[in-house]
């Protein structure tokens, strides 16, 4: 496995390996890899001849008060894990390599970045779209893998790829969870043991929502109220949002009359966690 830090070397390495009939899978990450990331890499490895993983904590998607400086990093461990999961190339550029000059060009997907996480993280998705666009241009993969854990990000990236005719297939990968149901996240390392125990309530609330939906409930208000009650019953939980939306346009649904995304963000102490579940009518 090769660890590459410059755009120039990455381009020449991929160019030398690219050939007709050989597909390139790409997994963009911010590192501190866990089973969630590894499931993306394993799937990419099973579907492509070459797998490129990027590890880059992207400063322009963090707000001024957010955790860019303290975000967990461990490149050596990441390389070991990514290699074992099937990656051949790690691209780990420094910030100055990705942004050698103040950036003047941004990619912004209108509307979709405003609701849900966009409310408390203004500019976040603009930063995500800009870096993903740059990475897709640098790697030029056939397929790029994104976790359903970040459902809003996935919807926005799919819209960006469609709108800008980017020649890549976006592959969504299901959420990997700990035994407690807590969605795996690099930020889970911030949680105290008590907060981690409380955070299992997020998945429980989503499961309850699914149960209500399956027993015929279609009122978003009733489902959200029930989830709020469950989450508020544990210590340390402070709800940022719970929303039920159209999974593509991300507009809120008062009545669940089509497939729907239930998404939430909840703070436990200084850690903000997100999770989601998609509801779909049985065929
Ligand atoms: P991050 O390093 O947090 O930017 O995540 C990189 C990619 O891994 C994104 O596409 C995430 O959606 C995905 N990912 C993160 N956590 C999980 C998880 N628990 N299950 C599945 N995919 C995940």
pLDDT (tens digit, 0 to 9) for every residue of the chain, 283 residues total?
Answer: 999 999 999 999 999 999 999 999 999 999 999 999 999 999 999 999 999 999 999 999 999 999 999 999 999 999 999 999 999 999 999 999 999 999 999 999 999 999 999 999 999 999 999 999 999 999 999 999 999 999 999 999 999 999 999 999 999 999 999 999 999 999 999 999 999 999 999 999 999 999 999 999 999 999 999 999 999 999 999 999 999 999 999 999 999 999 999 999 999 999 999 999 999 977 6
pLDDT confidence of residue 213: 98
Which of 26, 33, 147 is the best mutation target for the ligand 1 pocket, counting ligand atoms within 8 Å of the beta carbon and taking the most?
147
Residue 125 CA to ligand 1 center (angstroms) comes to 15
Minimal-distance CA residue to ligand 1 atom 14 = 147
Q: Which residues line ligand 1 (CB under 6 A)?
A: 29-30, 36-37, 39-40, 146-147, 149-150, 173, 175-176, 183-186
Which of 36, 66, 71, 152 is the best mutation target for the ligand 1 pocket, counting ligand atoms within 8 Å of the beta carbon and taking the most?
36
pLDDT confidence of residue 282: 74
Relative to the CA of 177, which ligand 1 atom is closest?
Answer: 19
Relative to the CA of 185, which ligand 1 atom is closest?
Answer: 16
Yes or no: say if 40 and 27 are a contact pair by the CB < 8 Å rule.
yes
Yes or no: say if 170 and 144 are a contact pair by the CB < 8 Å rule.
yes
Separation of alpha carbons 127 and 96, rounded Å = 16
pLDDT confidence of residue 281: 79
- Residues 173, 178, 181, 182: is their CA dihedral positive or negative? negative
CA 167 to chain CA mean position, Å: 20
User: Does 37 qualify as catalytic in the annotation?
Assistant: yes
Cα separation values, 280 from 200, 207, 258, Å: 23, 14, 7
pLDDT confidence of residue 194: 97
The predicted model scores a pTM of 0.98
pLDDT confidence of residue 88: 98
Yes or no: say if 99 and 12 are a contact pair by the CB < 8 Å rule.
no
């Amino acid at each position: 496995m090769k660890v590459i830090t410059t755009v120039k070397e990455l381009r020449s390495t991929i160019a030398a390996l690219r050939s007709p009939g050989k597909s390139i899978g790409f997994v963009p990450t911010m590192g501190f890899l866990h089973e969630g990331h590894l499931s993306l890499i394993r799937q990419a490895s099973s579907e492509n001849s070459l797998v490129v993983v990027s590890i880059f904590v992207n400063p322009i998607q963090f707000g001024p008060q957010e955790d860019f400086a303290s975000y967990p990093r461990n490149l050596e461990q990441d390389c070991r894990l990514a290699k074992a999961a099937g990656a051949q190339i790690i691209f780990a550029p420094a910030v100055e390599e990705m942004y050698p000059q103040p950036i003047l060009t941004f990619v912004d997907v209108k509307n979709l970045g405003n609701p849900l996480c966009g409310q408390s993280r203004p500019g976040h998705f603009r930063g995500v779209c800009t870096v993903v666009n740059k990475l897709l241009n640098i790697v030029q993969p056939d397929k790029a893998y994104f976790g359903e854990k970040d459902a809003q990000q996935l919807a926005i990236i799919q819209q960006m790829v469609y709108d800008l005719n980017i020649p890549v297939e976006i592959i969504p990968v299901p959420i990997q969870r700990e035994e407690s149901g807590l969605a795996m996240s690099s930020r889970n390392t911030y949680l105290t043991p008590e907060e981690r125990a409380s955070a299992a309530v997020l998945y429980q609330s989503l499961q309850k929502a699914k149960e209500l939906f399956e027993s015929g409930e279609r009122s978003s208000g009733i489902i959200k109220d029930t989830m709020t009650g469950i989450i508020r019953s544990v210590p340390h939980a402070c709800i940022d949002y719970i929303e039920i939306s159209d999974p593509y346009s991300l507009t809120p649904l008062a009545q669940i009359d089509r497939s729907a995304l239930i998404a939430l963000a909840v703070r436990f102490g200084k850690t903000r966690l997100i999770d989601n579940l998609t509801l779909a009518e049985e065929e």
